[in-house]
Amino acid sequence: MSLYITTPIYYVNAQPHLGHAYTTIVADTYSRFRRLCKEDVRFQTGTDEHGDKIAEAAAAAGIPPKEYADRISRLFQEAWPLLNIEPDTFIRTTDENHIRTVQAILQKVYDQGDIYLGSYSGLYCRGCERFLTEKELVNGKCPDHQAPPQPISESNYFFRMSRYQEWLIDHIKKNPEFITPEGYKNEVLSFLSEPLEDLCISRPKSRLDWGIPLPFDADFVTYVWFDALTNYISALGYPNREGDFGKFWPCDVHVIGKDILRFHTVYWPTFLMAAGIPLPEKVFAHGWWTVEGQKMSKSLANVVEPNMLIDKYGVDAIRYFLLREVPFGLDGDFSHSALIHRINSDLANDLGNLVSRSTAMLNKYFKGVLPTPLKESDIDTALKEKFIQQTGVVDEQMEALAFNKALQSIWELVSAANKYIDDSAPWALAKDEAQRERLGTVMYNLLEAVRLIGLLVTPFMPDTGVKICNILGIDSADRQLDEHDSWGLLQPGSSIEKAAPLFPRIEME
Ligand code: MSP
């Protein structure tokens, strides 16, 4: 089976921060999980490099826009590997193939009469890069950018979006998972209960020339959102409908922040419809992170840069925290104390201790050589069944992108394994030679539990997963989750080292 997941492409007017990292970690974790289950995954991210905002930032930096975009795009490309994020494709909207695709779609939609020249007077917000309606203003200002929009009057090209309104409403109603979580679906349906206006999809070159020229009128460039949204298919080679496009489109899920919901659930599906391209299966909107209770902003100087966090806490702890702390879809607050709490309790205490205790006992009682499990007792069966059943639950939760629930389920397994140690008391068995066989079975089951936990945490915490698999001596070919036969794959007789602590405790400052 093939699967395609995307993040938004990030504006190159700001350096990568926690919010960007979050969306990208989410998509990375999902794609790693699916790869672990042997699926053919395509994960795409990239940078959004045209438009007003970028032209302005480049002018402020005193360099040409392309040079500026190269510089900031590189920061994103360099940031992801440090967070163990491994996209298959990193698209830039200044890539030649992307530009060709945007122009091909525009030409097609124009030729069929869905794009026309009109004149427009309206209130334009540079931050949003779109015209706002009077109704959207709060005290005369754009509520997102806290600035009054500029009155602008000009000739422009329009996309007949209104034509697709009824069809879009119908699609959303018939496909209840198309916009997830449900609250966002209702928000979009409520927006669509008012007449949809046609969308201005050009900017005169006289006002903005940093964009993709319209193929049918060289005096205009393409509206940046039309350009940006097309990234999801340009890197798949569209308009060639064979190859990657044939294989991966329709996209399984576009992961986005709630602020760009309308672009993805109204503009994008209607563009696709007009171009005769099937719609993505799902758009999943997540919430926003605040930092220590406040909105992240340059003026508050509280923008959290991933690099700083990595140096202080390590990549895996950050990935774990972001995915565990809030239900995916809701807003969350990042605080150092909450992060340290999670590291100490979930990672150092629960998971770290499990791995150290079990490998230490195996080394103490069996010189690190894994015994063959023999007679199965009730608590062994219960442990084994719990693991088999819970692996299926994690799979379903991942399918629903319920990352925090999936982690909770995995941690139930960590607790079950820790409890298995307490209940079977290997230290007591070790004192009695007659219990040697039983001790061997207990140690096998315990290490097998660690193996499955190691595999299950890998998509969330790749380094930790690799460390656990290395300690257990699992071949890279076997680092996969198998629905069948998911218990008992460790080889008796294999050598297992005593693990160094995985997560040192962190003292509160
Ligand atoms: N370039 C557009 C997206 C085009 S997609 C075809 C854009 N870029 S952005 O850089 O401004 O934002 C990208 C994503 O980062 C958005 O999904 C946004 O929600 C997310 N975040 C930015 N700040 C955030 C937080 N503080 N918290 C969580 N995510 C946030 O929009």
Question: Residue 434 pLDDT > 90, yes or no?
Answer: yes
| pTM (two decimals) | 0.94
- pLDDT, tens digit, 9 for 90 and up, residues 122-153: 898 888 878 888 888 999 999 888 899 999 88
Query: Tokens in use for 440?
Result: 């061997």
Report the nearest-CA residue for atom 9 of ligand 1. Answer: 10
Give the Cβ contact number of residue 475 at 10 Å: 8
The per-residue pLDDT for 127 is: 82
Query: How confident is the model at residue 259, as a pLDDT?
Result: 95
d(CA 414, CA 346): 9
Ligand 1: which residue has its CA nearest to atom 24? 19
Cα–Cα dist 419/438, whole Å: 17
Catalytic residue among 50, 53, 98, 125: 125
pLDDT at 483: 62
Q: Summarize pLDDT for 238-288 with one digit per residue, the tens.
A: 999 999 999 999 999 999 999 999 999 999 999 999 999 999 999 999 999
Q: For a substitution probing ligand 1, which of 145, 222, 256 has the most ligand atoms within 8 Å of its CB?
A: 256
Tokens of 175: 């496909």
Examine the pLDDT at 479 and tell me if it is beyond 90.
no
Looking at the DSSP assignment, which residues form a beta bridge with residue 152? 122
What distance in Å separates the CA atoms of residue 16 and residue 29, rounded to the nearest whole number?
Answer: 18
Distance in angstroms (rounded) separating the CA atoms of residues 216 and 368: 72
Active site residue 142: yes
Taking alpha carbons only, the member of 267, 228, 278, 255 closest to residue 101 is 228
Distance between CA 410 and CA 405 in Å, rounded? 9
Verify whether residue 145 is a known catalytic residue. Answer: yes
Place of tokens 């218990």: 487
pLDDT at 485: 59
At residue 508 the predicted structure's pLDDT band, cuts being 50, 70 and 90, is: confident
- C-alpha of residue 21 to centroid of ligand 1, in Å: 10
To 10 degrees, what angle do helices 403-424 and 436-457 make?
170
Question: Is ligand 1 within 6 A of the CB of residue 10?
Answer: yes
**How far, in Å, CA of 64 to CA of 66, rounded?**
6
- The per-residue pLDDT of the chain, averaged, comes to 95
pLDDT digits (tens, 9 = 90+) for 364-395: 999 999 999 999 999 999 999 999 999 999 99
Q: Any idea which residue has 């103490």 for tokens?
A: 364
Amino acid at 371: P
Cβ 49 under 6 angstroms from ligand 1? no
Q: State the distance from the centre of ligand 1 to the C-alpha of 7, rounded, in angstroms.
A: 9
pLDDT-above-90 percentage for the chain? 87
- Among the residue ranges 47-56, 309-318, 477-486, the one predicted with the least confidence is 477-486
Q: How far apart are CA 346 and CA 352, in angstroms?
A: 8
Other C-beta atoms lying within 10 Å of the C-beta of residue 345? 11
Distance of CA 323 to the CA centre of its chain: 10
Among protein residues, the one whose CA lies closest to atom 10 of ligand 1: 10
Query: Does any ligand 1 atom lie closer than 6 A to the CB of residue 503?
Result: no
DSSP states along 183-251:
HHHHHHHHHTTSPPPPEE-EEETTT--SSPEETTEEEEEE-HHHHHHTHHHHTTTTT--SHHHHHHPSP
Choose, from 50, 98, 128, 185, the residue flagged as catalytic.
128
What pLDDT does 56 receive? 92
The answer on pLDDT for 436 being more than 90 is yes
Q: Which of 30-44, 295-309, 368-382 has the lowest mean pLDDT?
A: 295-309
Name residue 115's amino acid: I
Nearest CA to ligand 1 atom 13: 10
What residues pair up with 132 in beta bridges, in sequence order? Answer: 123
Q: Which helix (H) or strand (E) holds 312?
A: helix 306-313
Look up 125 and say whether it is catalytic. Answer: yes
State if residue 8 touches ligand 1 by the CB under 6 angstroms criterion: yes
Q: If you search the block for the tokens 């915490």, which residue do you land on? A: 461
Task: Count CB atoms within 10 A of the CB of residue 167.
Answer: 12
Smallest Cα–Cα separation from 47: which of 79, 78, 69?
Answer: 69
- Please name the helix (run of DSSP H) or strand (run of DSSP E) that holds residue 124, with its range, or none: strand 115-125
Pick the catalytic residue from 142, 200, 251, 469. 142
Dist CA 47 CA 133 (whole Å)? 28
pLDDT single digits (tens) 309-355: 999 999 999 999 999 999 999 999 999 999 999 999 999 999 999 99
* CA separation for the pair 103, 105 (Å, rounded): 5
Residue among 259, 298, 323, 328 to mutate when testing ligand 1 (max atoms within 8 A of CB): 259
C-beta of 20 in contact with ligand 1 (< 6 A): yes
Q: What domains can be seen in the chain, in order of their start residue? A: 335-484 (1.10.730.10)
Name the CA radius of gyration of the chain, rounded.
26
